[in-house]
């Protein structure tokens, strides 16, 4: 504590933005203000933080935008009024009870967030699945990594990231597909940059329709046409077969499906694949030759693959490259999906999606349902046998009137959901909307019948899991302002108002103890953990069984035994057809959306920090100069982007780094009403991958024109 100023206290926690999961040292002064630094010696970040993490304390110290008191509107035409917690929760319980009685348990739903702590996820999931009797719980993680969840499960038998970040130090080839970690997972990318500095022979392959910051250290950038990822992965697979780079012993002993895969990828010539992808044969062969010669080959991906109408197939076709080369289960080898949110993984562990059960149990498996029902002491048959509504289905059901009530927790769907104007219509139709949040600026408040003020990061305790299965404990450092309370406490108090037993937890540690007990004996076993152990060890990677020592399990499948029924990894043969929206004469450009370096989600936190606006302060449309010239558009011209779903109007940013025919808009900006022309999701659509239900944010057909005031 030598570096601490007099009167300050230090608290070790974890950054609440992206899934990298950097350790932070929070220093609190005697007046209750905090400062944040990177935690020295933390296995993820070794003291470093990116621009967002470095400015975390500003978002906490500034409480001017916080929701402070519960509010209720006792009739759609009435204004909301401040009430006590008891009245707010009793009112909500009364409305939920009456809707469930009249329309059944599926008339209500919870829409939560990958920023929720594991304990919060656990109690929300327990409440709706085990007690209300509906599986209508989904989260914004559906928009982020649900394609990876299905991809892992189909290929490896379990939603399990098999590697650790440490493997990036051992790899000698890293294939980054559909991701810009230099901006979106910056501290992890610093690790790759450092590895490249140490070892110039480390080869980096990047596939992306945009030449992003990540490409600055790429040895080969495959600047593919949007939607052609599977064709590219197959072409690399074919080249590896032709080069004799298949690990035949591994394939024969530890996988199934190679013969069919081989037959399938040989059907397209390299030239044909290269033409469709818009890349050169030479670059595909270069990438394949790097992989052929690799001692350790890692694949790394995120939204470019996940957010697609064929997201699961994109995941599988990439994971196949690890499987056919036997590059898994040893240092420096394996697939590493990056998660966008800090605790999307924790949510997966407790089954916090409409098609999952705790500890990665399968909702469709009657034995799994019975196990969970018995554990929760609820009658057999209480957990509904069919999946609940996924994120997009939830708002469609609200719009059609099938769903009557929605409870929104820690997320801002009026900016972040695809085809967001339909989401506005859905909220207008809703009979009852509960908004549980920290900010008085989230757009959903306009439709809230009940507002529940929640405690923020650093004002509550619990755990999160990062993208490498690393669990860490986050302490409560500050008291929440006003009457705000932790999310888990809100849910438990509501459950008790509903008359449900099993929510009288003493504290967050108590919830965690129940959660880990339910994981015992599963592939996600973390029954050896508790808050006390996590406080002492700082971080642990699951599985972590009872009596286990050390810091958990850095690497899975080291014995080449996979979690499938045959214990062999599955090489899936997938179609390379892209089923996204088609471009047309009327809408000839492909719009892709994504993040910028210094903003997070819908900016309800990062938007409060002036420093973070210095990098990019307003929305924009990135367009290739040749496309712009044909349309009479210059840099900074105001342009209109339109399709049958909506309109956006922002300034053009001319850049040769984007593929011709493709335009890019950041996903962060937008407001309801007149200012909504910044909002990229006016243009995106509800088309989803049929298996993962993840929306196709990366491919919308649009027109672009110079804006002229008429």
CA atoms within 13 A on the CB side of 614: 7
Stretch that binds ligand SF4, among 16-24, 65-73, 296-304, 350-358 (CB under 6 A): 16-24
Shortest gap between Cβ of 334 and ligand SF4 (angstroms)?
21
Distance, in Å, from the CA atom of 314 to the CA atom of 146, rounded to the nearest integer, reads 12
Q: What is the 3-state secondary structure (H, E, C) of 116-167?
A: CCHHHHHHHHHHHHHHHCCCCEEEHHHHCCHHHHHHHHHHHCCCCCCCCCCH
> What is the β-pairing status of strands 203-207 and 173-177?
parallel
CA atoms within 13 A on the CB side of 625: 4
Distance, in Å, from the CA atom of 269 to the CA atom of 228, rounded to the nearest integer, reads 15
Shortest gap between Cβ of 15 and ligand SF4 (angstroms)?
3
114 forms part of the interface with ligand SF4 (CB under 6 A) = no
Angle between helices 487-497 and 118-125 (to 10 degrees): 20
49 forms part of the interface with ligand SF4 (CB under 6 A) = yes
SS3 110: strand
Distance, in Å, from the CA atom of 215 to the CA atom of 196, rounded to the nearest integer, reads 13
Stretch that binds ligand SF4, among 18-26, 212-220, 275-283, 353-361 (CB under 6 A): 18-26
CA-atom Rg of the chain in angstroms: 24
Distance, in Å, from the CA atom of 184 to the CA atom of 690, rounded to the nearest integer, reads 27
595 forms part of the interface with ligand SF4 (CB under 6 A) = no
471 forms part of the interface with ligand SF4 (CB under 6 A) = no
Task: Please say which residue, 402 or 597, places its beta carbon nearer to ligand SF4.
Answer: 597
Sheet holding 34-38, edge to edge: 9-14, 23-28, 34-38
345 forms part of the interface with ligand SF4 (CB under 6 A) = no
12 forms part of the interface with ligand SF4 (CB under 6 A) = no
498 forms part of the interface with ligand SF4 (CB under 6 A) = no
607 forms part of the interface with ligand SF4 (CB under 6 A) = no
Shortest gap between Cβ of 185 and ligand SF4 (angstroms)?
6
Shortest gap between Cβ of 548 and ligand SF4 (angstroms)?
26
Single out the residue of 12, 36, 50, 156 in contact with ligand SF4 (rule: CB under 6 A). Answer: 50
Residues listed for the chain? 710
Task: Please say which residue, 45 or 320, places its beta carbon nearer to ligand SF4.
Answer: 45
Task: Please say which residue, 23 or 227, places its beta carbon nearer to ligand SF4.
Answer: 23
- DSSP E strands in 224-321: the ranges are 255-256, 297-301
Shortest gap between Cβ of 530 and ligand SF4 (angstroms)?
24
340 forms part of the interface with ligand SF4 (CB under 6 A) = no
Contact 288, 257 (CB under 8 A): no
Task: Please say which residue, 141 or 682, places its beta carbon nearer to ligand SF4.
Answer: 141
Shortest gap between Cβ of 146 and ligand SF4 (angstroms)?
20
For residue 177, list its beta bridge partners: 207, 301
300 forms part of the interface with ligand SF4 (CB under 6 A) = no
192 forms part of the interface with ligand SF4 (CB under 6 A) = no
Site string for ligand SF4, 162-191 (x = CB under 6 A): -----------------------xxx----
Task: Please say which residue, 368 or 605, places its beta carbon nearer to ligand SF4.
Answer: 605
Shortest gap between Cβ of 39 and ligand SF4 (angstroms)?
10
Single out the residue of 13, 17, 152, 685 in contact with ligand SF4 (rule: CB under 6 A). Answer: 17
Task: Please say which residue, 567 or 610, places its beta carbon nearer to ligand SF4.
Answer: 610
22 forms part of the interface with ligand SF4 (CB under 6 A) = yes
Distance, in Å, from the CA atom of 175 to the CA atom of 222, rounded to the nearest integer, reads 10
Task: Please say which residue, 426 or 603, places its beta carbon nearer to ligand SF4.
Answer: 603
Single out the residue of 12, 13, 21, 257 in contact with ligand SF4 (rule: CB under 6 A). Answer: 21
Distance, in Å, from the CA atom of 590 to the CA atom of 225, rounded to the nearest integer, reads 10
Distance, in Å, from the CA atom of 379 to the CA atom of 374, rounded to the nearest integer, reads 7
Task: Please say which residue, 45 or 390, places its beta carbon nearer to ligand SF4.
Answer: 45
CA atoms within 13 A on the CB side of 284: 28
Phi-psi region of 552 (alpha: psi -120 to 50; beta: other; left: phi over 0): left
Q: Which helix (H) or strand (E) holds 490?
A: helix 487-497
SS3 320: helix
Nearest Cα neighbor of 658 from 282, 308, 275, 223 is 223
Single out the residue of 12, 13, 18, 25 in contact with ligand SF4 (rule: CB under 6 A). Answer: 18
Stretch that binds ligand SF4, among 44-52, 378-386, 412-420, 633-641 (CB under 6 A): 44-52
Single out the residue of 42, 52, 233, 348 in contact with ligand SF4 (rule: CB under 6 A). Answer: 52
- Give the binding-site size for ligand SF4 (rule: CB under 6 A): 14
Provide DSSP, 598-659. T--TTSTTGGG-GGGGTT--S-EEEE-HHHHHHTT--TT-EEEEE-SS-EEEEEEEE-TTB-
Stretch that binds ligand SF4, among 11-19, 133-141, 476-484, 550-558 (CB under 6 A): 11-19
151 forms part of the interface with ligand SF4 (CB under 6 A) = no
376 forms part of the interface with ligand SF4 (CB under 6 A) = no
633 forms part of the interface with ligand SF4 (CB under 6 A) = no
Distance, in Å, from the CA atom of 131 to the CA atom of 373, rounded to the nearest integer, reads 10
Task: Please say which residue, 457 or 505, places its beta carbon nearer to ligand SF4.
Answer: 457
Contact 660, 588 (CB under 8 A): no
Single out the residue of 12, 25, 28, 53 in contact with ligand SF4 (rule: CB under 6 A). Answer: 53
509 forms part of the interface with ligand SF4 (CB under 6 A) = no
Task: Please say which residue, 183 or 500, places its beta carbon nearer to ligand SF4.
Answer: 183
Task: Please say which residue, 337 or 527, places its beta carbon nearer to ligand SF4.
Answer: 337
Residues of the shown chain interacting with ligand SF4 in the complex, contacts defined by CB under 6 A: 15, 17-18, 20-22, 45, 49-50, 52-53, 185-187
């Amino acid at each position: 504590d030598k570096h601490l100023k007099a009167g300050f206290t230090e608290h070790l926690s974890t950054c609440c933005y992206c899934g990298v999961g950097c350790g932070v040292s929070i220093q609190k002064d005697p007046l209750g203000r905090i400062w944040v630094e990177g935690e020295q010696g933390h296995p993820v970040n070794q003291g470093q933080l990116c621009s967002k993490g470095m400015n975390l304390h500003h978002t906490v110290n500034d409480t001017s935008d916080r929701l402070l008191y519960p509010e209720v509107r006792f009739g759609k035409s009435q204004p909301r009024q401040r009430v006590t917690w008891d009245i707010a929760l009793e009112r909500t319980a009364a409305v939920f009870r009456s809707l469930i009685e009249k329309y059944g348990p599926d008339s209500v739903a919870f829409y939560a967030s990958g920023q929720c702590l594991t304990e919060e996820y656990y109690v929300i999931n327990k409440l709706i699945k085990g007690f209300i009797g509906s599986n209508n719980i989904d989260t914004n993680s559906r928009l982020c990594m649900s394609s990876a969840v299905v991809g892992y499960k189909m290929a490896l038998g379990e939603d399990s990231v098999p590697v650790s970040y440490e493997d990036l130090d051992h790899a000698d080839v890293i294939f980054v597909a559909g991701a810009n970690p230099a901006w979106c997972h910056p501290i992890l990318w610093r690790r790759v940059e450092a590895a490249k500095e140490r070892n110039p022979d480390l080869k980096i392959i990047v596939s992306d329709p945009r030449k992003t910051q990540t490409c600055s250290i790429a040895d080969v950038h495959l600047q593919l046409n949007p939607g052609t990822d599977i064709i590219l992965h197959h072409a690399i697979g074919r080249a590896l077969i032709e080069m004799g780079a298949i690990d035949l012993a591994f394939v024969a002993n530890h996988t199934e499906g190679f013969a069919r895969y081989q037959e399938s990828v040989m059907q397209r010539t390299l030239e044909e694949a290269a033409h469709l992808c818009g890349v050169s044969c030479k670059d595909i062969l270069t990438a394949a030759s790097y992989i052929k010669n690799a001692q350790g080959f890692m694949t790394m991906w995120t939204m470019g693959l996940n957010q697609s109408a064929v997201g699961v197939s994109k995941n599988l076709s990439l994971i196949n490259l690890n499987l056919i080369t036997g590059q898994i289960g040893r240092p420096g080898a394996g697939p590493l999906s990056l998660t966008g949110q800090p605790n999307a993984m924790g949510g997966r562990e407790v089954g916090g999606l409409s098609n999952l059960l705790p500890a990665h149990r399968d909702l469709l498996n009657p034995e799994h349902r019975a196990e969970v029902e018995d554990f929760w002491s609820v009658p057999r048959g209480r957990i509904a046998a069919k999946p609940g509504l996924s994120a997009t289905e939830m708002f469609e059901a609200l719009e059609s009137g099938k769903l009557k009530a929605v409870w929104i927790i820690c997320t801002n769907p009026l900016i972040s959901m695809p085809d967001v104007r339909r989401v506005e219509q859905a909220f207008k139709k809703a009979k009852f909307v509960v908004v549980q949040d920290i900010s008085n600026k989230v757009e959903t408040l306009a439709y809230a019948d009940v507002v529940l003020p929640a405690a923020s990061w650093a004002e509550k305790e619990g755990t999160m899991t990062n993208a490498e299965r690393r669990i860490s404990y986050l302490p409560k450092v500050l008291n929440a302002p006003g009457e705000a309370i932790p999310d888990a406490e809100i849910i438990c108090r509501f459950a008790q108002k509903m008359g449900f037993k099993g929510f009288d937890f003493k504290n967050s540690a108590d919830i965690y103890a129940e959660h880990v007990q339910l994981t015992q004996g599963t592939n996600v076993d973390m029954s050896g953990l508790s808050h006390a152990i996590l406080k002492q060890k700082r971080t642990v990677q699951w599985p972590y069984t009872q009596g286990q020592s050390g810091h958990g399990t850095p690497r899975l499948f080291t014995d080449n035994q996979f979690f499938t029924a045959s214990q062999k990894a599955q090489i899936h043969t997938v179609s390379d057809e892209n089923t996204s929206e088609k471009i047309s004469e009327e809408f000839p450009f492909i719009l892709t959306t994504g993040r910028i370096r210094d903003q997070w989600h819908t900016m309800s936190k990062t938007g409060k920090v002036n420093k973070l606006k210095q990098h990019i302060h307003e929305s924009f449309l990135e367009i290739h100069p040749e496309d712009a010239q044909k349309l009479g558009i210059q840099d900074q011209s105001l342009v209109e982007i339109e399709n049958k779903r909506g309109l956006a109007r922002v300034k053009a940013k001319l850049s040769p780094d984007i593929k011709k025919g493709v335009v890019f808009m950041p996903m962060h900006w937008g407001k309801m009403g007149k200012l909504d022309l910044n909002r990229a999701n006016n243009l995106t659509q509800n088309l989803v991958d049929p298996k993962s239900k993840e929306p196709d944010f990366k491919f919308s057909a649009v027109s672009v024109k110079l804006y002229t005031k008429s």
